[in-house]
Chains A and B, each alone.
Chain A
């Protein structure tokens, strides 16, 4: 359009160089933002289950993008296709980038073949949160669970992911365990691959 005045240059995300991911913001900036996320969602629900579901949903959006970003930046555009591969990718790479450290532990459930657990002594999103008594089992870790589910689902490993508090002897605060229960098809495929 000639003579339409100043043509605006819309920056295309894909034309920009991919950041190295070393930029940081203060922990409190994140904490304030996360607290607003929780408070806003609290106004949208009338029970704890829904609140957790909504936090998980927000986390899922983060997880889906983190998978894409990290596969591109850290793994030369390859993504894991095996169960243990993707789990250790989450436990180490994803955790390290998002939370600055590798997750405390990654374990296989002893009772069920399809269950795995990632545990964290002090999960970042639970750090400034104290759950009031009347909110029972509510766990902000649902957000982190959502991130895990977002990564898994988009990598082709559908799973149900939930966050739980597990009391630790001699510790004031419980640790957070993220329980991953894979869909049947994932285990069948895994068995076939041998």
Chain B
């Protein structure tokens, strides 16, 4: 039998090296600020943040798998729980909750009440279209793609826009069957 999937990332988080969240928060703020200056359009900034997140996600998944002992998830429901309880905890020190499942079990929401990215942040009027935390959706998408799940990740609620929580909707588009790089041998 496969080893039990950890139910929370608390133990892992306690064992990894950590840094002050304020350094992380302020550095992220500096990145967003640079993007806004460079790209001018908030839409472009959203796109770039998502791309950066994706780049992180495809690298982060290796560390996640190595440190978490998580093996293959049986279904998308389990995947979502693992992201919320283990993934978020392990890297950001916070946990998300999973709700709003559709009847097929292919779409759900990750709800974050604590989000270290947004401390000290207030969206000015000129940036109202900005998804400030868009890097997170890229991370989730990139990481899942590396375990053969194509997903679409969108923001439903955003505290910086006046909502009462952060809600990230994760929709499973398709499971890509694993392919082996046979080509070289042929």
Interface residues of A (CB under 8 A from B): 8-13, 19, 21, 23-30, 32-34, 36-37, 39-41, 44, 54, 57-59, 61-62, 65-66, 69, 97-100, 124
Contact = CB atoms under 8 A, between A and B. Distances in A.
B119 A19 contact: yes
Interface in B21-47: 21-24, 26-31, 33-35, 38
Contact of B13 (A11, A26, A30, A124): A26
Given A32-B60, A33-B56, A124-B19, A24 B30 contact: no
Contacts of A39: 55
- Closest 3 pairs between A and B when the two form their complex, measured CB to CB: A8-B162, A23-B21, A24-B18
Contacts of A124: 19
Nearest to B34: A58
Given A40-B52, A97-B20, A100-B19, A25 B26 contact: no
Contacts of B150: none
Contacts of B48: 40
B159 interface: yes
B101 to A, nearest CB: 24
Contact of B59 (A32, A54, A69): A32
B23 A99 contact: yes
A37 B162 contact: no
Interface stretch (B72-80, B87-95, B177-185): B87-95
B2 interface: no
Given A11-B122, A24-B21, A62-B30, 7 more contacts: A21-B20, A29-B92, A32-B56, A40-B52, A59-B30, A62-B23, A100-B20
Contacts of B122: 10-13
B80 to A, nearest CB: 20
Contacts of A40: 31, 34-35, 48, 52
Contact of A23 (B26, B59, B116, B159): B116
A25 B91 contact: yes
A36 B56 CA distance: 8
29 contacts: A9-B164, A11-B159, A23-B116, A25-B19, A25-B21, A25-B91, A26-B13, A26-B19, A26-B91, A26-B93, A27-B18, A36-B31, A36-B52, A36-B55, A37-B34, A40-B31, A40-B34, A40-B35, A40-B48, A58-B30, A61-B26, A61-B33, A62-B23, A65-B29, A65-B120, A66-B22, A98-B20, A98-B23, A99-B20
B102 interface: no
A15 to B, nearest CB: 10
Contacts of B52: 36, 40
Nearest to A19: B119
Most chain-A Cβ atoms within 10 A of its Cβ — which of B35, B60, B120?
A: B120
B46 to A, nearest CB: 14
B18 A8 contact: no
A21 B31 CA distance: 21
B90 to A, nearest CB: 6
Given A8-B162, A44-B38, A27 B19 contact: yes
B136 to A, nearest CB: 11
B141 to A, nearest CB: 15
Contacts of B56: 32-33, 36
Contacts of B116: 23, 25
A58 B23 contact: no
